[in-house]
Structure 1
Amino acid sequence: MADPRTKLRDLALGFPETHEAFPWDERVVKVRGKVFVFLGRRDGTDEPMITVKLVESHGHALSVEGARPTGYGLGKSGWVTVPVGEVPLAELRDWVEESYRIVAPKRLVATLDGGR
């Protein structure tokens, strides 16, 4: 089975003004220089994980087995690290989009909703 992070990466790069970067030897997607999704692995393992900033879905994401508030103080700001193996792809896509909507400037978010 293909790694779902590949599809999530493609989705993330389809949002306005996004680009891929590799800080700290980790794949991320940024909007206007700000990270909105980390596409990594659990430390010391091959288990695929994503890290996203959530508000609406924060509690639900944390209810996933193995999910945790993101380290380095990011968890206090709503960032959640979630293993992708058992979460439906549609739900992961929703979380990536929610993270984009939180991090991106309002003008860019408006383009997702048909505004300019």
Structure 2
Amino acid sequence: MAFLELSFETLRTHALSLPEAWEDHPWSETVIKVRKKIFVFLSFQKDGALAVSVKLPQSGEFALLHDFATPTGYGLGKSGWVSCRFAEGDDIPLDMLVEWTSQSYRAIAPKKLAALVAMDT
């Protein structure tokens, strides 16, 4: 399995391990939701790049300092959403992306569920 696919599966598996998380495919991408709200978008682009979008109310400004990150389109960037894009061969900071996925979950999930997810997972 190529590293991009492995990274996708690592992030997908982590997101699905969070309380009441479930997978959906409303468009040509995978989204992980808590209850009815999306907290992570995962997809492969036409050029084969891996795209990940998460809501980062605490670390969004830091995330945007990285070359691989941009504000998410469709106006979501104004609400703290950040999109990351990785091509085959790029260094993918998986540990950081896992933490960002958890942070996005905590931002989107109802407070009782968010409280179940530690700040360092």
- Give a deviation string over 1:37-89, Cα, whole Å, max 9, x none: 000134x4211010000011101211121321111111110111012442321
What is the rounded CA distance, in whole Å, between the counterparts of 1:74 and 1:97 in structure 2? 18
Which of 9, 23, 28 is the matching residue for 1:25? 28
Tell me how many residue pairs correspond in the alignment. Answer: 112
Partner of 1:108: 113
| 1:90 Cα deviation from its structure 2 partner | 0.6
What is the rounded CA distance, in whole Å, between the counterparts of 2:61 and 2:42 in structure 1? 20
Seq. identity, %: 45
What is the rounded CA distance, in whole Å, between the counterparts of 2:92 and 2:61 in structure 1? 14
- Structure-2-length-normalised TM-score: 0.85
Partner of 1:89: 94
What is the rounded CA distance, in whole Å, between the counterparts of 2:80 and 2:44 in structure 1? 19
Which of 42, 46, 68 is the matching residue for 1:39? 42
The answer as to 2:50 corresponding to 1:48 is yes
- Off by >3 Å, runs of 4+ in structure 1: none
Point out where structure 1 has 5 or more consecutive residues left out of the alignment.
Answer: none
Residue pair 2:71, 2:82 contacting (<8 A) in 1 also: yes
Residue pair 1:101, 1:109 contacting (<8 A) in 2 also: yes
Q: From the superposition, tell whether residues 63 and 41 of structure 1 become closer, same or farther in structure 2 (CA, over 3 Å).
A: farther
Point out where structure 2 has 5 or more consecutive residues left out of the alignment.
Answer: none
What is the rounded CA distance, in whole Å, between the counterparts of 1:108 and 1:55 in structure 2? 17
- Structure-1-length-normalised TM-score: 0.89
Partner of 1:61: 63
